[in-house]
Amino acid sequence: MKPVEELRYLVLAVQREGNRILAAQLRPLGLTPSQAEVLRVLHDHQPLTLSALGHLLVCETTASPSRLVDRLVSQGLVQRATDPDDRRYVTLTLTPEGRGLERQVADAEDHLYGLLERLVAGERLDETVQLLRKVADEFPAGQALAHRRESSPPRPA
């Protein structure tokens, strides 16, 4: 197996297991990992237009995650409102129910991050993160994450 092939499959394996663990944590909340990502991004960046939200999501590679948002609106977690500065735009914000559920999503993510921190305890992650950023930044999902990194205040550890 070529080293780059193994890298590909290692990233895939870690991503799938992380998603499986997160999905299990989110199931009692009635959310998928993609829906949870929308709630977290809105929490950090609201109000957002649908297009702006699409540029910040890793789970969606299209600029318009309308079906995903439609589901969250129908669940009463996200609210659409006409932008007061430009009526041609609709902005998205979390409802009070969405804010409450977002906090539970953050707790579920923290569970996963705690597990990952235990698995990599004592390891130097800087070089690994830099390598993965170099590769990911060449693709839309990696670029979405880069936009989030650039526009988000640091989260407490």
Q: DSSP string of 108-148?
A: HHHHHHHHHHHHTTT---HHHHHHHHHHHTTSHHHHHHHHH
How large is the average pLDDT for residues 79-90? 84
Q: What is the Cα Rg of the chain in Å?
A: 17
pLDDT in the model for residue 155: 52
pLDDT in the model for residue 71: 94
How large is the average pLDDT for residues 6-13? 94
How large is the average pLDDT for residues 18-22? 95
